[in-house]
Structure 1
Amino acid sequence: MGALVRLARTEPALRAVWLQSYDEAVPAFARALVDRAGLPPDDLRPALQAAS
């Protein structure tokens, strides 16, 4: 895993895929946190937690 992370920093194509995956994963994590906590969908806390 460490080698993959290092490559993502130096290889432009891999970095693009890594960033795209992150961009798609954060909203999914935030929705899951909203559902699990029973919070309203516009609550900012799950989005902040998902991003970190």
Structure 2
Amino acid sequence: MLGGPPQQATPARTHIQKTLAGLQVQLAADVVELGLLRLRQTERWIAVIRT
């Protein structure tokens, strides 16, 4: 409606947005963890090669 009150998001849409935000945070944490695991794996290979 023109000139009417601003439309509010439906509860279902809000729930989806919150879920998506939570998944984005989890994905970022997983990326960091995988990077650390890869670093650890690389360090092990270097140790094996040196011996």
Q: TM-score, normalised by structure 1?
A: 0.49
> 1 or 2 for the larger relative contact order (CA 8 Å, sep ≥6)?
1
In our comparison, the structure showing a higher alpha carbon Rg is 2
Q: TM-score, normalised by structure 2?
A: 0.49
Which structure features the higher share of helix residues? Answer: 1
